[in-house]
Amino acid sequence: MVAGLIAVAGLVPEAKAIELTGSLGVEARAFVDDAQFSEQHAENGSVVVQPELYHDWSDGDQSILFSPFFRWDQGDDERTHFDIRELRWLMVSGSVELRIGLQRVFWGVTETQHLVDILNQTDLVENVDGEDKLGQPMVRVDWVQDWGTVALFALPGFRERTFPGAEGRLRFPVVIDTDNARFESDAAEKHVDFAARWSRFIGAFDVGLSHFHGTSRDPRFLLGEPVAGQPRLVPYYDQIDQTSADIQMTAGGWLWKLEALHRSGQGRTFNAISGGFEYTLVGIFERAWDVGLLSEYHYDDRLEDAPTPLEDDIFVGARLALNDVQSTTLLVGAILDVQSDGTAFFAEASRRVGDRWTVSVEARAIAGTESNDPLHALRTDDFFQLELLRYF
């Protein structure tokens, strides 16, 4: 078995050189409405670089991956930031995998919210969709067996969520003071968190059960010391326990998805679910095009007390894949609040240009929100975004 894993991990028997790949990109955003606050800007430019260095040895049963990230942002000092997305050593031995260092780990199945995905902090200044994550220091051990994979995580060192600064769009009316975060634990950001996960697939089902014990990645907010006469909010990070399940059933063109969690330690104990489907129609309009129809429902039993905008919301959307040489895709959707007229619209499209470039456009808009909806703060921040990425 060891020989097999070694063989699969290392394609070339002799030592390989260090491999450098990655991307360099520019992004432009244009906001439709006037800014709510005088410090904010109507347009924004940004440059991003994310190289990746990889090296493996011992026929591939050991490897190192280093992936730093840097963004320079024209308008918002908080969005100009550096992160190490990954700096990890991997060793494979038989049915055991060991990873030490800064890493990213994804849990979950749904598309519009990653409810159970908790190990990595959200890099919120990157985009409001919450898809971007900060590198998390951890020791991870995976044990792969016929009855499933058990993964154990020790997570020393907490990463605070990033928030837009005073000049940034897509922010709360009160600026978040990220320099003065508070913690329930006396160990503050040095608290060591733990997590465990069991996952396996059984026929049409892919199932994961997880537990997390440690510092919540989602902060609550307290009123902080005013800065230059302006009020500030400070993030407060509770100690929580979260148990979660994520399940997908795949049957023909249907994907059925469910994520559910139970969390205690952050105000009153609560439960939340995200679930839905994706159905793919193939060969649309007598072409090679695929159309995916998606719908998801999000529920948090704290309802209006929930800090998330997705407390009782329905998502409907469609994905179009042209299946062409340029891998052209388009995703459009709307998230509708069941209890109000609040709706968030988005569209994302991307296409390869030549062999080394991609171009993406994105648009986001919010309509009909009421003042108690967290999204209400973003009501004048509808925007279009164009991004060009060059891969090397």
Partner 1 sequence: MKFQLSRMLLRTPLVSIALVSTTLMLATPNVFAVVEEGRSAQENGLAVAQEVDARDVGFQDFRANLTMTLKNRHGEESVREIRSRNYEMTEDGDKSLVIFDSPRDVKGTAFLTFSHKDGDDDQWLYLPALKRVKRIASSNKSGPFMGSEFAYEDISSQEVEEYTYKFLRTEEMDGLECHVIERYPQDKKSGYTRQVVWYDTQHYRPMKTEFYDRKEALLKTLLFEGYQQYAGKYWRADVMAMENHQTGKSTRLEWRDYEFQVGLEEDDFSKNSLARAR
Record the tokens describing residue 118, joined without a space: 């908790």
Place of tokens 């909010």: 233
Beta strands in 177-303 (DSSP E): 182-183, 192-202, 205-215, 220-223, 232-237, 239-251, 254-265, 267-284, 289-300
Nearer to partner 1, 78 or 97 (CB): 97
Record the tokens describing residue 139, joined without a space: 């020791």
Q: Collect all residues with Cβ–Cβ distance below 8 Å to 286 and sequence separation of at least 6.
A: none
Nearer to partner 1, 159 or 171 (CB): 159
Greatest Cα pair distance in the chain: 66
In 3D space, the residue among 183, 245, 241, 246 whose CA is nearest the CA of residue 212 turns out to be 241
Nearer to partner 1, 74 or 250 (CB): 250
Q: How far is the CB of 264 from partner 1 (least distance, A)?
A: 27
For residue 129, the SS3 value is coil
Nearer to partner 1, 39 or 70 (CB): 70
Q: How far is the CB of 356 from partner 1 (least distance, A)?
A: 6
Nearer to partner 1, 5 or 314 (CB): 5
In 3D space, the residue among 265, 256, 197 whose CA is nearest the CA of residue 237 turns out to be 265
Q: How far is the CB of 37 from partner 1 (least distance, A)?
A: 33
Nearer to partner 1, 1 or 228 (CB): 1
Q: How far is the CB of 266 from partner 1 (least distance, A)?
A: 25
For residue 105, the SS3 value is coil
Q: How far is the CB of 371 from partner 1 (least distance, A)?
A: 34
Q: How far is the CB of 292 from partner 1 (least distance, A)?
A: 9
Tell me which amino acid residue 349 is: A
Q: How far is the CB of 77 from partner 1 (least distance, A)?
A: 26
In 3D space, the residue among 304, 278, 310 whose CA is nearest the CA of residue 292 turns out to be 278
Nearer to partner 1, 208 or 219 (CB): 208
> Which residues in this chain contact partner 1 in the complex, by CB under 8 A?
1, 3-5, 7-9, 11, 21, 23, 54, 56, 60, 63, 90, 92, 95, 97, 104-106, 109, 131, 142, 144, 149, 199, 201, 206, 248, 250, 252-255, 280, 282-283, 288, 290, 323-327, 352, 355-356, 358, 389, 391-392
Nearer to partner 1, 74 or 360 (CB): 360
Nearer to partner 1, 190 or 287 (CB): 287
Euclidean distance between CA atoms 281 and 253, whole angstroms: 7
Q: Collect all residues with Cβ–Cβ distance below 8 Å to 102 and sequence separation of at least 6.
A: 84, 85, 86, 87, 88, 135, 136, 137, 138
Record the tokens describing residue 65, joined without a space: 């991956």
For the chain, report the end-to-end CA distance as a whole number of angstroms. 35
**Radius of gyration for the chain, computed over Cα atoms and rounded to the nearest angstrom:** 22
Q: How far is the CB of 104 from partner 1 (least distance, A)?
A: 5
Q: How far is the CB of 99 from partner 1 (least distance, A)?
A: 9
